[in-house]
Amino acid sequence: MTKEPSLQRVTVPEIFKRKGHPSKITALTAYDYTVARIVDAAGVDVVLVGDSLGTVVQGLETTLPVTLEEMIYHARCVARGLKRALLVSDLPFLSYQPSSERAIEAAGRMLKEGGAAAVKLEGGLAVGGIIAAITSFDIPVMGHVGLTPQSFHRMGGHKIQGRQSAGNGKCLPGSRERVIEDALAVEEAGAFAVVIEGVPHDLAAEITEKLSIPTIGIGAGPHCDGQILVTHDLLGLSAKVPGFVKRRADLGVLAEEALRSYVEEVRGGV
């Protein structure tokens, strides 16, 4: 029989302590109250209001246009649906990169207005100072390295990162060495956990081994300290689903069938 998770709130220190723990960290996205309630009831540890909201909810090609106001609004909706899970919210593109001041303000608003307990932001070496500035004000930060969707144009699409070795000592973005350097920089700056997205399994395993903070993988193999997925992908609700996702339900098809039967009955006067 599986043990029911307790209803006590999951905290940032608890997630931090799960480094290397046999029971891995479970994380999923939510963008609204209804899905937040379901994900929370399923016993997930971390609920992320991802800026994947841009592609999943808003139908955009990339996450770049998502605004801080939109993220705060969705975080607030999700917060109302959670009883147990830790709420982490993404900081969208250009809300934290320009300066530490802008980043502290954006992160602070996410806690104050969005109800999040922590923020997530993308990047490594380039954002070390920003992460340090935010965490110095006791705002917990989750890092995000490897395939960082806000770097869509630099990567030339949502492409696997860290496949090639720099080989020239230059540690260029996208190289294996650079992904490792980025992860180390995130840890050094004070993040309590880091998402590793879209890298070869052995690279995620190497980073997980090197870091003392938990790693949460997505499309990065089974060796991280936890896993995160976009809920709509795993429930069969997304238009496009990455190849690594194991679809666990076909809710899109079920919903369409249910709605068709409604349309037919109403048309037929039933």
State the Cα torsion 70-74-76-79 to the nearest 10°. -150
Residues 124-163 that bind ligand KIV (CB under 6 A): 144
**Is residue 182 part of the contact set for ligand KIV (CB under 6 A)?**
no
Which is closer to ligand KIV, CB of 101 or CB of 248?
248
Which is closer to ligand KIV, CB of 33 or CB of 171?
33
**CA–CA separation, 31 and 39 (whole Å):** 11
Residues 18-47 that bind ligand KIV (CB under 6 A): 29
**Is residue 51 part of the contact set for ligand KIV (CB under 6 A)?**
yes
**Is residue 50 part of the contact set for ligand KIV (CB under 6 A)?**
yes
**Is residue 110 part of the contact set for ligand KIV (CB under 6 A)?**
no
CB of 173 to ligand KIV, least distance (A): 18
CB of 258 to ligand KIV, least distance (A): 27
Judged by CB under 6 A, the residue of 130, 218, 220, 237 near ligand KIV is 218
CB of 239 to ligand KIV, least distance (A): 15
Judged by CB under 6 A, the residue of 39, 82, 145, 195 near ligand KIV is 195
Q: Provide the annotated active-site residues.
A: 197
Report how many residues bind ligand KIV under the rule CB under 6 A. 12
CB atoms within 10 A of CB 13: 10
By the criterion CB under 6 A, which residues form the site for ligand KIV? 29, 48, 50-52, 90, 144, 195, 197, 218, 228, 230
